[in-house]
Amino acid sequence: MTPGQRAAWQALGLGPVWVRRDARAALGEGLDPSGAELPRPDEARRAPPSPRETIRGEAIRGEAIQAEMARSADPTPMPDWESLQASVRTCERCGLCRSRQQTVFGSGSPTAPWLIVGEAPGAEEDLRGEPFVGQAGRLLDAMLAAIGLDRARDVFITNVLKCRPPGNRNPEPDEVARCAPFLRRQIELLAPTGILVMGRFAAQALLETDASVAGLRNRVHRYPVGGAELPLVVTYHPAYLLRNPADKGKAWADLCLALARLPRQRAAAG
Ligand code: SF4
């Protein structure tokens, strides 16, 4: 482990932790570049689910999202990045346009290999027009630093919803469905080497499922786009990890999985 990685590890509040070798083997070879042992599987079970991660009666369901997407499909072509940004900036496709301060399109490098997708802007993001700022943003920065990534250089970060749900309530299925074409077009234009998805709502929207993060993490999914299939890894949202620090070890394992399975370099052109 390098001094920088050690500092980032400590910033995450992860170390030192040890685990049985069979648990480490179950995650695959090379998933922990630090050489440190992975956390015990039973550690994660101690953390109670947070309200936001708990599936509720009104939880977004994959089928509901798909039905809404079919109803609200936008036939308007969005040919390039600038046009897409302008479309988002003035969008009134759902009711969130009435309560937002501004839209949050995304930040980072559009030529970066990885795309990170979160849920929706919070209060601070709504004010600043940037995703993942504040305490959750600082934890994301530490998580990325732990695997040697810089958020301005190595990733592009966006959310499923480009506008803040009032009071940070959960997104509604029709809001996700109406906003989904923007994220879809972002992925097509960015053409990342892989996608790291943070949080239940983002995972459910991209993978068209109603499964929990616990059921989706710790494996590599495929996201079809442009005739190809991008590797996609699901992990917990930094805001969830702030409320449930016992799950940071699992997030670390997910980051290591992403590091092992999402290419860090784009293929050379031509
Ligand atoms: S959340 Fe998405 S669909 Fe709704 S107004 Fe904002 S940009 Fe438009």
Residue 39 lies in a domain: no
Residue 21 lies in a domain: no
Residue 253 has pLDDT above 90, yes or no: yes
267/165: higher pLDDT: 165
Instruction: Give me the pLDDT at residue 71, please.
Output: 53
In this predicted model, what pLDDT tens digit does every residue of 208-250 receive, in sequence order?
999 999 999 999 999 999 889 999 999 999 999 999 999 999 9
| CATH assignment at residue 160 | 3.40.470.10
Ligand 1 nearest atom to the CA of residue 97, by list position: 5
Q: How confident is the model at residue 73 (pLDDT cuts 50, 70, 90)?
A: low
Residue 268 lies in a domain: no
Residue 49 lies in a domain: no
Please choose, from the candidates 204, 223, 225, 113, the residue with its C-alpha nearest in 3D space to the C-alpha of residue 161: 204
User: H or E segment at 125?
Assistant: helix 123-128
Residue 76: domain span:
3-13+58-261
Residue 197 lies in a domain: yes
**Residue 66 — φ and ψ, nearest 5°?**
-65, -40
Give Dmax over CA atoms of the chain in angstroms: 54
Instruction: Give me the pLDDT at residue 19, please.
Output: 36
Instruction: Give me the pLDDT at residue 77, please.
Output: 62
Tell me how far apart the alpha carbons of residues 236 and 255 are, in angstroms, rounded to a whole number. Answer: 10
Atom 3 in ligand 1: residue holding the nearest Cα: 179
Instruction: Give me the pLDDT at residue 11, please.
Output: 52
Residue 165 lies in a domain: yes
* C-beta of 179 in contact with ligand 1 (< 6 A): yes
Instruction: Give me the pLDDT at residue 47, please.
Output: 39
* C-beta of 183 in contact with ligand 1 (< 6 A): no
Residue 34 lies in a domain: no
Residue 46 lies in a domain: no
> Which of 172, 178, 201, when mutated, tests ligand 1's pocket best, judged by the most ligand atoms within 8 Å of its CB?
178
State the total domains in the chain: 1
Q: Are 233 and 254 in contact (CB under 8 A)?
A: yes
Instruction: Give me the pLDDT at residue 168, please.
Output: 87
